[in-house]
Structure 1
Amino acid sequence: MASLIDRVHDPRLFVAHATLDLIDLDTFEDVPLDYYAANGLVSARENYAAVVCATEGGDIDVTAELWDAPPALHLDDWQDAAEISFTWTTTGICIGPGEEDPEDTHQLALPGPGTYRLLVHGRHRDDGDVRDEGDPVETYLLQLWPAPLAGPVTHKAASRFGASLRSEGAEPKGQVPSWFCADPWRTTHRDRPAAPGGLLHRRPLQDLQPRRPRLLISTSTS
């Protein structure tokens, strides 16, 4: 049975540029990732993972957990869930570091360098960028554990925001929503309500690509 090693939670974590970044401050390079075309949720490379958010600049609710083995899968409370593998060459991972003071951030202490699996859950992803008080807060659960490198898996894909990011033909596996089709652009336009004047509430697909991170500080956390 899997055991929880460490857990951090922030109900008001500020994100900028529409991404929740997981980085190592000492090795981070300001090079954008492949933007989430496979699952509409998360992407990664060595020493860097990022979750794409509907909130471009604002507070989100984030929980990050480190496990010693794959945790039990619970999907009912989430719109989207996907897992990926990556390599981490240090022993610390920063969760959503800020630009003004990146060292003052939540961290998980890893058992060592190696390969890891990251399972990301997301909900309230269809409520737009600017949210009023009382609107649902965009919420994420990140679960991380040591594991060999393996292919990506999409467990659930129910948000329209995620569908607008997936590439054509990137059909999710697992709990596939009934509205899903191979062309996410056509699907999301069909299902979205129209704003006054016939304009869609959300911007065109090409404008949904998150801007590249602007964190340029490289500081050792040891």
Structure 2
Amino acid sequence: MRYTSWTSDRMFVSYRQYYLQGDDFLTEYDDADTVERIYTGNSLAAGGPEHLTVLAGTHTGWIRLTTQQCAGEPVLPGQEWETVVDVSIRSTSGVLRLFRWGGDVVEDAGNFATAGAGWYRVRVQARGRDEGDAHEGDAPVEEHFMTVWPAPPQPDAVHTANDAFARAHYDPTRPPGQPVQP
């Protein structure tokens, strides 16, 4: 399977958040309820047209983040990842870039809308969110892995929800989050 990857041990998060965001996001769409949908949904990520918000355990500081752009769905990860979710988002501009809270784009990570405008599936894997929540040092203790590939829209899928935040907020008896249409 063809893919492009990028890794950083110094991905800065503020307010526990980082994003994928498209060129049309702030002019055409907003994310007024995205964080709320994370808390009441899969506990890790939620998105809509031109954006995805990911919730880290680290409030303000560094995490290790690896991203991957694939042509098709990757193999599910092993049990070393504490929380793993899949979310559908739509790119209307044909551009999805990685952003830090506050609007700083991470240019090195590239454009995640590899097939242009259309629907994408995003798998976010996290481990160390509990440690990140309690951590106050400079070295990252939390790690995320985000994979993006073109795919038709589907409801959110929670493969694993085993960190403390997920156990407190994810309720498997609730219906899964649905893709937000443009």
Q: TM over 0.5: same fold?
A: yes
Counterparts in 2 of 1:1-222, with a 5 A limit? 2-4=1-3, 6-28=4-26, 29=30, 31-33=32-34, 34-36=36-38, 37-97=40-100, 99=102, 102-103=104-105, 105=107, 106-109=109-112, 110-133=114-137, 137-167=141-171, 169-170=173-174
Structure 1 runs of 4+ with >6 Å offset: none
SS in 1 for 2:148: strand
* Cα distance in 1 for residues equivalent to 2:56 and 2:13: 8
> Gaps (5+ residues) in structure 2?
177-182
* Cα distance in 2 for residues equivalent to 1:27 and 1:57: 24
Q: Which has the higher helix share?
A: 2
After superposition, the Cα gap between the structure-2 partners of 1:30 and 1:74, relative to the gap in structure 1 and judged at 3 Å, is: closer
Alpha-carbon deviations, 1:123-144, whole Å to 9, x = none?
0011143524487611110011
SS in 1 for 2:126: strand
> Gaps (5+ residues) in structure 1?
173-222
SS in 2 for 1:119: strand
User: Contact between 1:88 and 1:116, CA under 8 Å: does it hold in 2?
Assistant: yes
Task: Name the count of aligned residue pairs.
Answer: 169
User: Scaled by the length of structure 1, what TM-score is found?
Assistant: 0.68
User: Contact between 2:24 and 2:50, CA under 8 Å: does it hold in 1?
Assistant: no
- Name the structure, 1 or 2, with higher relative contact order (CA <8 Å, separation 6+): 2
* 2:42 maps to amino acid: N
* Cα distance in 2 for residues equivalent to 1:153 and 1:35: 14
Greater C-alpha Rg: 1
Report % sequence identity. Answer: 23
Structure 1 vs Structure 2 CA RMSD: 2.4
